[in-house]
Amino acid sequence: MKILVAEDDENLGVLLCDFLQSKGYTVKLAVDGKKAIAIYRQEPGSFQFIILDVMMPEKDGFAVAKEIRLIDKKTPILFLTAKNMEQDRLKGFELGADDYLTKPFATEELSARINAILRRTQPNGISSQVPIGLFNFNKAQSLLLKGDKSTKLTTKESALLALLANNIHEVVDRQGALRAIWGDDSYFNGRSMDVYIAKLRKLLRDDPSVQIVNVHGVGFKLMVK
């Protein structure tokens, strides 16, 4: 399982990475909010858990969470903070946080909270294969599988399908997806994304129960009837 950690305290960041890796997780560390968003954009849909320090340079944890939640409403987010004010906790939860841990904290408590959140949000465990109707999407290998047929997806096809699959039956914001995968939401990138949506629809058409629908003025939604 892959975890994104954003923590500007270098010593704490290294400690968290070492601890989480000792628990069997793959960890990517960002030293500020801007770098956290950049790492997330490079691998959208590939993280199963996100840990954000609230007070960071460039972008704080709240801003990072808000941007991530535009395109990913399900991946658990846990805030780390030295703050212990009620309004900060409420703001974190309003932005879609799953938990809030105040510094200083014991690493074993962090581990226990991660496990508790995963048991609640993903009771069947973590898998790199996501079922989509009659298909299975292997995010790790960028493969779309159906029976004995295997289709290798391009990097952008895989990233876009991962975002849609992570938010199945929910709207994926168009501008957020463009920023996450293409880096900005310019007109030309928007046209490019429309081409990739058309390619994914063609790949998924073998199962009539699977649809990628347009939500006018907002974005797209992956539906499985």
Name the pTM for this structure.
0.65
pLDDT tens per residue across span 15-53:
999 999 888 888 999 999 999 999 988 877 778 899 999
Q: What share of residues in the chain are helix, strand, coil (percent, to 5)?
A: 45, 25, 35
pLDDT greater at residue 19 or residue 184: 19
Two tokens, residue 208:
């009539």
| pLDDT value at residue 128 | 62
Two tokens, residue 4:
């994104």
| pLDDT value at residue 47 | 87
Chain CA centroid to CA 196, Å: 20
pLDDT tens per residue across span 189-211:
999 999 999 999 999 999 999 99
Q: In whole angstroms, give the CA distance from residue 101 to residue 106.
A: 10
Q: Which domains does the chain have, with CATH numbers?
A: 2-121 (3.40.50.2300), 130-224 (1.10.10.10)
**Residue 108 predicted with pLDDT over 90:** no
Q: What is the bridge-based pairing of β-strands 171-173 and 99-102?
A: unpaired
Of all helices (H) and strands (E), which one includes residue 9?
A: none
Share of the chain above pLDDT 90, in %: 40
pLDDT tens per residue across span 47-106:
889 999 998 988 999 999 988 888 788 889 999 987 666 677 777 788 888 888 888 888
| pLDDT value at residue 103 | 86
From start to end of the chain, where are the E strands? 2-6, 26-30, 49-53, 77-81, 99-102, 129-132, 135-138, 143-146, 149-152, 171-173, 210-215, 219-224
Q: In whole angstroms, give the CA distance from residue 53 to residue 39.
A: 15
| pLDDT value at residue 84 | 67
| pLDDT value at residue 32 | 94
Q: In whole angstroms, give the CA distance from residue 61 to residue 206.
A: 41
- Is the alpha carbon torsion for 145, 200, 159, 170 positive or negative? negative
pLDDT greater at residue 114 or residue 45: 114
Q: In whole angstroms, give the CA distance from residue 9 to residue 68.
A: 22
| pLDDT value at residue 213 | 95
